[in-house]
Amino acid sequence: MFCCPYCEKPGISVSHKLIMSPGSRVTCQTCGEISRVSAPAWLTDIFLGAVMMLASFFVDSELIKLILGSGGFVMMMLLPFIFTPLCKVS
């Protein structure tokens, strides 16, 4: 569980945090307030994975293409999940 920015208690589930993007909202299971992720922070955190996936289109080696593509996808999922903070909907 992740801490809610309003009540600061673990009210946000792992599955909700994993699929969050700047357009999505999540309701705290403890206090009922609605949280979001900020677009600049989210874009910063997906940037490295996106670059790796894009780079995979421009290499000839199938092995390197597979490593860059799959590694980039995993990083695009994990880095925002771990590092992008939840913030209040103002």
Q: Is 87 in the site for Zn ion (CB under 5 A)?
A: no
CA dihedral of 45, 75, 48, 51, whole degrees rounded to 10: -130
Size of site (CB under 5 A) for Zn ion = 7
12 near Zn ion (CB under 5 A): no
85: Cα separation from own chain's centroid: 9
Q: Please choose, out of 7-15, 39-47, 58-66, 73-81, the segment that lies near Zn ion by the rule CB under 5 A.
A: 7-15
Q: Rounded to an integer, what distance in angstroms lies between the CA atom of residue 88 and that of residue 27?
A: 11
Residues that bind Zn ion in the complex, under the rule CB under 5 A: 4, 6-7, 11, 28, 30-31
